[in-house]
Structure 1
Amino acid sequence: MPTPDRPLRSLGFLTIGLFDEHDPAGGHEATLRLIELGEQLGFDSAWLRHRHLQYGISSPLTVLAAATQRTRRIALGTAVTPLGWENPLRYAEDLATVDVLSGGRLNPGVSVGVPVHFEDVKDALYPDTADREDFGYTRVQRLIDLLAGRPASSFQGTEGIEAYSDHVQPHVPGLAARVWYGGGSLRSMRWAGEHGLNLLTSSVVRAEEGTDFAANQLALIRTFRAAHPDGEKARVSHGLVVIPTDSATPEQRAKYHAYAASRYERTRTPQGPNRMLFAPDLVGTSEQLAEQLYAHAAFREVDEVAIPLPFTFAPEDYVQILTDLATRLGPLLGWRPAE
């Protein structure tokens, strides 16, 4: 097996927390148990993804607030929050509150862009300001400024028996430095790097450097770090769907391979008007997966990963996958579980 340039320092996982429409409590509880298991297995981070108006977690921060009371060590993140659905001031207050509850373990991941199906949802989301909302980078900058303690109000002081602050409370020094940006274009990478953010890459990128996924992802990482004040030390988290089969049952193996095969066709050519490239899902033994990852040009550039769990699997599948990731694949990549 090839030797990596540097061992994997941080291993995390990501889920959208699917639930049955008729039993949402059961699905949310299963997600919380998965985060607890991740901590027990020594994972460094657990991430939740938004699913607005779908049967997945619509309020990751609320779920993470609950997770702060059931875990003590594992970092908790959003990957990613589409800020087009959020008011930066209110969201900054929520982030700071959950970070306080976690003891400083929160990693906010954000993205920009017009909300999905905006024409269908705009009358409920922004009934009075839909034509004036800015869904670009300035929305991220507003959030960062507010987390950093920049004034949110021109008033501070005491009014009657109530005291007012001019900036977000609770204020958490250092939280702004833990903001991650999720994007898939070279333009986004330059902006995120110039503004000193951390970078979340995923299994979807824009085809701007030919049609090879790894080459495009590598270009994103290098563009980001070239623009970042920390250069090569700028934090980048890699994310590909990786499914180890070491302890899987024959039925699980068949399911995993069928899942990857059903999604393979979309990885052959860029998709849609934005020419989005999808990475193939990787399924196999940990030894096979380690070789594939070490051969991946973009993977060799990072020492942090957040592996997305397939969205439609059963809880027992997630237990098997997380256990194999932590006990078999992770160590083959040079990673060691947290104490």
Structure 2
Amino acid sequence: MPEPSVPLEKLGFLTIGLFDGDDPAPGHETTLQVIELGEQLGFDSAWVRHRHLQYGISSPVAVLAAATQRTRRIELGTAVIPLGWENPLRLAEDLATVDVLSGGRLNPGVSVGPPMHWDDVRTALYPDTADVEDFSYERVARLMRFVRGERAASYAGKEGVVEEWSDRVQPQSPGLASRMWYGGGSVSSARWAGENGMNFLTSSVVRAEDSTDFAAIQHGLIRAFREAQPGGRVSQGLVVIPTDSATAEQRAKYRAYVEARTPRTSTPQGPGRLLFARDLIGSSDEIAEQLYAHAAFREVTEVAFALPFSFAAEDYVQILTDIATGLGPALGWAPRS
């Protein structure tokens, strides 16, 4: 249980990678620069969100492939890839390829369920099979089987003079399966991840199944995962906005952002009863104090703090720098070189 005397072991951050639809290249370049900055500041990991039919990263695996060639040490993760949009066999190939390119630094996070706005996209996504697609945990299990090297085809051998076929996904990347994460907000998801040998990502969104106390719910998810897999890794992701080196203008913008988002944290939202965590804003010492009072944070030794969605590049530089030089050390973390 991390108390002030127990250092935080791994510090990461998460970015959505916003871009302008009329000129998307600069936004993607900014995302890569933010990841490079994270490595320079000593962060342990950088994670990217996944956004389909929006102005955020639609292909995190492709973005992280580029990031592998511009970094050498920092771990690279997805938080998370919604498998309802993916073919598990093809995704397994992409993940293994990027993991090989990274030298074993990829941490793929995935989730299941029907794609968002399913009725609007089903015809474009699955024109012939929409009614029979399986969006259950079995879709994750299929992906994990391919990543672990189980058979994907009934034939293997040489064909003709030079073509050689494998019955397993290629390339195979040793160690990738142990770095697969499941992103979940319910007790059943947390338990399933543990029972099936995955690591567990818990974010700033949970399901209010029996309570409306966010920290208590998240604490319960972590406990459920650990009961199923005592040695599994858990990473917590909350939105933190340290203001140590922020300008007066930045502080005003940040507080307006937090105030606009705060009402949704008071009650569960929508038919899924989604409950959002409060954004944590203030000095690094103030945020550290709030985290140590958070029941779920006291259960983890690694975090991936989420960057706010809609800020400018210079804001992300300030926030990441303050996390690395202020908040991280306040939590007992030391940067990697």
**Corresponding position of 2:48:** 48
Residue correspondence of structure 1 range 11-50 to structure 2 within 5 A: 11-50=11-50
Give the conservation status (yes or no) of the 8 Å contact 1:214–1:298: yes
Number of residue pairs aligned between Structure 1 and Structure 2: 335
Alignment of 1:179 onto 2:180 = yes
- Matched AA of 2:100: V
- Cα distance, 1:142 vs. partner? 0.4
- Cα distance, 1:275 vs. partner? 1.3
Match of 1:196, SS state, is coil
TM (normalized to structure 2)? 0.98
- Cα distance, 1:5 vs. partner? 5.8
Give the conservation status (yes or no) of the 8 Å contact 1:93–1:169: yes
In 1, Cα distance between equivalents of 2:113 and 2:5: 35
| Larger CA deviation: 149-158 vs 265-274 | 265-274
Match of 1:263, SS state, is helix
- Matched AA of 1:259: Y
Pair 220,337 (structure 1): closer, same or farther in 2 beyond 3 Å: same
- Cα distance, 1:4 vs. partner? 2.7
Pair 167,3 (structure 1): closer, same or farther in 2 beyond 3 Å: closer
In 2, Cα distance between equivalents of 1:85 and 1:79: 15
Match of 1:191, SS state, is helix
TM (normalized to structure 1)? 0.97
Give the conservation status (yes or no) of the 8 Å contact 1:5–1:300: no
**Corresponding position of 1:92:** 92
- Cα distance, 1:274 vs. partner? 1.6
Give the conservation status (yes or no) of the 8 Å contact 1:209–1:215: no
Give the conservation status (yes or no) of the 8 Å contact 1:209–1:219: no
Segments of 5+ residues of structure 1 without an aligned counterpart are none
Match of 1:132, SS state, is coil
**Corresponding position of 1:305:** 303
* 1:256-281 Cα deviation digits (max 9, x unpaired): 11111001111111111121111110
**Corresponding position of 2:269:** 271
- Matched AA of 2:240: V
* 1:67-86 Cα deviation digits (max 9, x unpaired): 00000000001000000000
Match of 2:254, SS state, is helix
Residue correspondence of structure 1 range 1-339 to structure 2 within 5 A: 3-4=3-4, 6-160=6-160, 161-228=162-229, 231=230, 233-339=231-337
Identity of paired residues, percent? 73
Match of 1:237, SS state, is strand
Match of 1:12, SS state, is strand
* 1:96-143 Cα deviation digits (max 9, x unpaired): 000000000000000000001111111111111000000010000000
In 2, Cα distance between equivalents of 1:208 and 1:308: 24
Q: Which runs of 4+ in 1 moved over 6 A?
A: none
In 1, Cα distance between equivalents of 2:201 and 2:192: 14
Match of 1:163, SS state, is strand
Segments of 5+ residues of structure 2 without an aligned counterpart are none
* 1:222-277 Cα deviation digits (max 9, x unpaired): 0011011xx1x321001110000000000000111111100111111111112111
